[in-house]
Structure 1
Amino acid sequence: MAKLVSSWSKDIKSLPENYVFPPDQRPKELVAPLYNPPIVDLTKSADEARQKILEAGRDFGFFQVMNHGISQSLINEAMDVLKEFFDMPAEVKASAFTADSSKRCRLYTSTFQYDTEEVHFWRDNLTHPCHPLEDCLQLWPEKPTRYRDIVGKYSVEVRKLVLKILDLICEGLELEQGYFGDELSRIHLLSVNHYPRCPDPSLAMGMQRHCDPNVVTILFQGDTNGLHVFSDGKWIGVEPIPNAFIVIIGCQLQIISNNKLKSAEHRVVTNSEVDRTTIGYFVIPSYECFVEPAKTLVDEHNPAIYKACQYKEFLSTYANENGKYETLMEFYKLQT
């Protein structure tokens, strides 16, 4: 438990050596602002929402969703209880702490390879399944006492949002109704990242440059900057929009769309002013599921770009490549 950054970071004045990244891996001082951020307003017509989603997915690999129907009070309560969790004494969090990735509810620091890493990421993470809710609640932390109630309500509402977004994507790509049901969205995980204030953000990293291996990620990043997306050869900062969710296209959606949508390569930087907590909701295929370009998107004029691949095999390649977007996606391209 002494490994958790949140357990000891408030007591130090300088960054420990094993958190200092080599110069070529550190965040750059200059990050380009995104002057026209991709925003989808769900109070607009379905046609307009679909068009905005497809354009954003093609050009950026992510977009922000506004007017989504999830109350600000519920979002605030969820953020409060998750921050409270990370603020609890280490001995209270001990029951959830494990580096064993097979555990369904796990609290860990940096990555699962912590013991073999040369340099650690400045973050703690709590991950657990969140659907079906009745099968998951007993796995979740018992403290804070309102954790299961509030996070349960939050998970239910975010699931409704993600299903609505997947329906819009399905319609926009002209796929058969319910295409993303069943095996392609079998697993729903809540992944909470906590980045304590850092004594020297210029030397540290919250998360490495990577893409998400899943279908889609719904992220609430609160009101503190930290997420960067790589676009057109430069890093852009994703400014928080009050009460908005960020939707990140995953690698499986890029494959299914036959490159009509692209996965967003992203990273996380730290700051020295405030702790930053984000809530990620991951939609993941079953491990046995085979993913390939949708048949309706492939014809003689639009040949399949990617080969069919079992998701568990993709995850293995993802781990071997450390989530590197270009090498990973190139590996699954069909030879032409």
Structure 2
Amino acid sequence: MRTPAKSRSCSDTEVFLPEIDDRCHELAERYGVRPYMVARYLTFLGRSETERLLKHMEDIRPAIRTNTILIDPEELRRVLEEKRGFELKRCPEPVDVGFWILNDPPISIGATLEYMMGYYVPQDAASMLPPVVLDPKPGDRVLDACAAPGGKTTHLAQLMDNEGTLIAIDVDPDRMRALKSNLARCGVANAVALRMNALDLPSTDWEFDRILLDAPCTGEGTIHKDPSRKTSRDPEDIATCARLQRRLIDAVVDVLRPGGVLVYSTCTFSPEENELIVQYAVDEHGLEPEPVDVGWADRGLRVPGVEPKVRRTCARLYPHRHGMGIFFVARLRKPLS
């Protein structure tokens, strides 16, 4: 693998931009992605892994997550297979409340009676991991900082046994409507949904035991749902997202109690939005990275400027290795003093 070259995209944010050679152009043309993306994959993953990633980037099976507030996973499986014609496969621990859908059911997953009753949430399997890593307990004060449309919020509620205090905030009014609808449909009783910019959190007197920051990102992990992302993002977008993510880290750390836990996640490959953001949280706020204890996940990338303790504690998911969209998860704890 080549050593990543750095290019300053703008102001204080650097983006890794390796040389784009004939191999990059060849693979970019074959798989319909931007050449700079291929150059970055080759740098961090090598030729074989890059080709496998590009080949399987859109081969992600749809999944659903059982809403255990209302139904047991095996009971849901029985109903959907026997009555609705679904063919399901259980997702691996610790996201085994989820099922992959192996067939094309006769009824859309968003049109069944069970969906309308809130028994399950359509959700990519990778997206089920951050709430599990946060591990909220009944009675905790929990913040979902970029919550809409509510897939992870409803998951947090069920992990809390629908007890405690769960604040779900988002700035987008259209997505807020979806968030409130999902909370109601799933029978969530311990959550309050507020339209609010997470950057304004320091102006409050709130304090939370646990915070989930599933940050806005460039979204390479959603290419299977939105193929336009193969070509619609450029290095400037990476820099823009990384700047916002650092500001969001600053904001949420301000309302995390000493000893509290922050889980940071994205659905993108970019180390500028992942390992380097975690390193920023460590350097600027003294947060301590804790292992994401998922044995089948990959560790973080080897990135210049990122300490080994950060890389070793992060988790990465890939389509060609895990059957899930590209995803990144890190867990950090705020020091007591």
What TM-score, normalized to structure 2?
A: 0.27
TM-score for both structures, normalised by structure 1: 0.27
> Which has the bigger relative contact order, CA under 8 A and spacing at least 6?
1
